[in-house]
């Protein structure tokens, strides 16, 4: 083996060693970057999860307040007429299906939907005229079970019981 061959051989070995060192260093840096990316994603998911939990809690609280407003409005009709309270009560909860799915279990979401459906039916049946105008006067007396007024009071008592059960389901 000649000196020039030996120099070329040493040069190739040196370059190969240098190349391996660079590859190992790049591999380590790539691994560190991947670890950092995974850590950032994990933290972002945790942050988003916490924010989503807070938002879901706020939405559940808001929904519960709407449901309690409805319950109070109906309860006031069990002994007397308070038309303004019915007019001010919400007929819709205003949440999308996606928001409902994020905030409530299936059973809770169904209870919310049923509550609003029952209330809208109650309003349509007892509080709107045939022309869909709000009703302020009811014929008859409390004592006459066949009178419009007595039927309103009776329907209100029944609906309050149903709402109470739905409120329990919503809070489970």
Range of the domain at 166: 3-171
Residue 31 has pLDDT above 80, yes or no: no
Tell me how many domains the chain contains: 1
Indicate yes or no: pTM above 0.85: no
Three-class secondary structure assignment of the chain: CCHHHHHHHHHHHHHHHHHHHHHHHHHHHHHHHHHHHHHHHHHHHHHHHHHHHHHHHHHHHHHHHHHHHHHHHHHCCCCCCCHHHHHHCCCCCCCCHHHHHHHCCHHHHHHHHHHHHHHHHHHHHHHECCCCCECCCCCCCCCCCCCHHHHHHHHHHHHHHHHHHHHHHHHC
Q: Residue 87 has what pLDDT?
A: 95
- Residue 21's pLDDT band, with cuts at 50, 70 and 90, is confident
How confident is the model at residue 48, as a pLDDT? 62
């Amino acid at each position: 083996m000649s000196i020039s061959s030996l120099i070329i051989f040493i040069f190739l070995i040196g370059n190969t060693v240098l190349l391996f060192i660079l590859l190992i260093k790049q591999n380590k840096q790539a691994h560190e970057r991947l670890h950092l990316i995974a850590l950032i994603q994990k933290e972002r998911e945790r942050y988003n999860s916490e924010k989503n939990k807070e938002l879901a809690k706020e939405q559940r609280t808001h929904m519960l307040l709407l449901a309690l407003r409805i319950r109070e409005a109906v309860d006031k009709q069990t002994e007397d007429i308070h038309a303004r309270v019915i007019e001010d009560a919400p007929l819709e909860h205003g949440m999308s299906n996606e928001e409902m799915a994020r905030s409530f279990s299936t059973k809770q979401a169904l209870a919310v939907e049923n509550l609003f459906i029952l209330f809208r039916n109650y309003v349509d049946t007892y509080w709107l005229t045939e022309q869909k105008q709000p009703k302020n006067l009811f014929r008859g007396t409390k004592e006459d079970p066949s009178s419009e007024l007595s039927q309103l009071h009776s329907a209100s008592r029944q609906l309050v019981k149903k709402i109470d059960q739905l409120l329990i389901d919503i809070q489970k």
